[in-house]
A and B are shown apart, each in its own frame.
Chain A
Amino acid sequence: MTVLIVAEHDGAQLGVATLNAIAAAQKLGDVHVLVAGAGCLNVAEQVSKINGVAKVLHADAAHFAELLAEEIAPLVVSLAVPYSHLVAAASAFGKNIMPRVAALLDCSQVSDLTEIVDGKTFVRPIYAGNAFTTVQSDEPKLVLTIRASAFPAAVAGSLNAPIEAVAATPAQNLSRFVGRELTVSDRPELTQARVVVSGGRALGSAEQFNALLTPLADALGAAIGASRAAVDAEYAPNDAQVGQTGKIVAPELYFAIGISGAIQHVAGMQDSKIIVAINKDPDAQIFNVADFGMVGDLFEIVPELTEKLKSI
């Protein structure tokens, strides 16, 4: 069996979650990776060096520049014949494009899978991670999106896979790119960080959120996350939200600070290796999943913790 992975990139760098998808897909067969874009040969070259990639398909055209679903899905479909599985990471990019591919091919999609049992059988979470379902299909072709945090990341090696240019499909012109506003940060990317420091509504204001969590995150080299309540109250940007409807993270160490631990938040972080909860309510649900819990006033605890970590 041969698998086609649709690579996510920004024109210069490969999206990190694609590395996890590459590592996961090796369990299914030979891995080919499609790099579509405008002037993105450099990304195709990066991909060709990654261990486990047998071939890179490179499609270059102006209408692929912004990786719009309407343009990329027909391209993937045009290449689909030899492949048993069409795969992407379950990032905003993969979630947007792959169901469109699946519908055009009239095949099923397994979303956000966490385990590959075999080429027909997969495990995925449902009900905000409160249950895991094993699903199966005998279809000749399947579309898969992969939960990056459930698989290791592929790494660059010493071999170079061949890069093959593929023909661009015609422009669909159904949608037009207007603009993009990205959150600028020099912190590690949230879904890839070794340590994540997350804050909730109890931080009280955007000023206090930043004043308390930024120094702690600096001391730990951590990414900053947030609960939905903190995002809705505008303490943190939307793309910092951890949970069922935000990002799924599984760092080595996760700090939940002033977060009650609602089902929807826990869905996004329960696979973290070590969870630390700091909350003044001893009955907060977060303590049911925390390895180390501390009951008390976060406005005293967090600065003290930051100071002591700095002196280590």
Chain B
Amino acid sequence: MKALVAVKRVVDYNVKVRVKADGSGVDIGNVKMSMNPFDEIAVEEAVCLKEAGKISEIVAVSLGEKKCEDVLRTALAMGADRAIHVETDAELDSRAVSKILQKMVQNEQPQIIVLGKQAIDDDANQTAQRLAALLNAPQATFASKVELGADEVVVTREIDGGLETLALKLPAVISTDLRLNEPRFVKLPNLMAAKKKPLEKQTIEDLGVDISGSLKTVSVAEPKARQAGVKVANVSELIEKLAAAKAI
């Protein structure tokens, strides 16, 4: 059984981004980039399924500028077998990404498709659900446990009141929550070995996908700054302040 994992290169989660002075976007010129944390979890889950003998091949895919190769090499070092990079400088939103991935799934015919539940830059939380719809496949979003069988996958999901378990027919689309697993640390020898693994280039034109019709960004602004607060010396003072603010 084959797995396809989609990974995105994003601003590292520890970086506090700044909005450009002209309001055209956030300044990501010289900041550290890395694999979206939810996608690392997706790769880890696929690798665990392979180690358990449930799947035979993992294909990692990424869409975007040339430097996306970096995150694909990381996925290969974690245990993916081969990678496909759809190289483009176009701005892609979830709608475009899901259409490109649909085509790649049709070409590769994986039985299980794993994505992160959201990218920590656009916070859209859409791609997995859209992809599942385009494939007319079942979806299990926000997965915290995955049990893969021969013709169905049983997934426990994080929902607002607790947990929910679903059984999906294969092929199925899964999006990962933080609780699913702890991604492995990539060791240097694995990183070196990953350089020898196949990394294929494709273009949106090759795939024949129309990605027109995305939302237009009018402006980007800083959030409203909170007013600087005060430090209180003891509990009585805290209670007085809260009472004065009518909060208690």
Spell out A's residues near B (CB within 8 Å).
Answer: 68-70, 73, 91-93, 95-104, 106, 108-112, 121, 125-137, 139, 173-183, 191, 220, 228, 232, 237-239, 244-245, 247, 252-253, 263-264, 270, 273-276, 287, 289-295, 301, 304-305, 308-309, 312
Contacts and interface: CB of A to CB of B under 8 A. Distances in A.
B130 A103 contact: yes
A293 B229 contact: yes
B215 interface: yes
Closest CB pairs A-B (n = 6): A99-B129, A103-B133, A103-B130, A174-B138, A99-B126, A178-B165
Given A91-B160, A127-B123, A263-B16, A103 B95 contact: yes
Nearest to B161: A182
A128 B12 CA distance: 12
A245 B163 CA distance: 15
A252 B127 CA distance: 34
Interface residues of B, number: 83
Contacts of A131: 17, 19, 26, 220-223
Interface string B160-177: 111111111100100001
B106 interface: no
A126 B213 contact: no
Contact of A102 (B13, B122, B130, B164): B130
19 contacts: A92-B142, A104-B133, A106-B95, A108-B95, A108-B213, A125-B123, A131-B222, A132-B221, A175-B138, A175-B139, A220-B248, A237-B162, A239-B161, A244-B123, A245-B177, A247-B160, A274-B247, A287-B231, A312-B239
Interface of B: 11, 13-14, 16-17, 19, 26, 93-95, 98, 117-118, 120-134, 136-142, 144, 154, 157-169, 172, 177-179, 213-223, 226-227, 229-236, 238-239, 241-243, 245, 247-248
Contacts of A134: 217-221
Contacts of A264: 13
Contacts of A130: 16-17, 26, 223
B167 A126 contact: no
A131 to B, nearest CB: 5
Given A135-B218, A293-B232, A127 B142 contact: no
Nearest to A17: B160
Determine the main DSSP class of A at the interface with B. Answer: mixed
Nearest to B93: A108
A175 B242 contact: no
A130 B225 CA distance: 10
Contacts of A309: 239, 248
B158 A132 contact: no
B236 A308 contact: yes
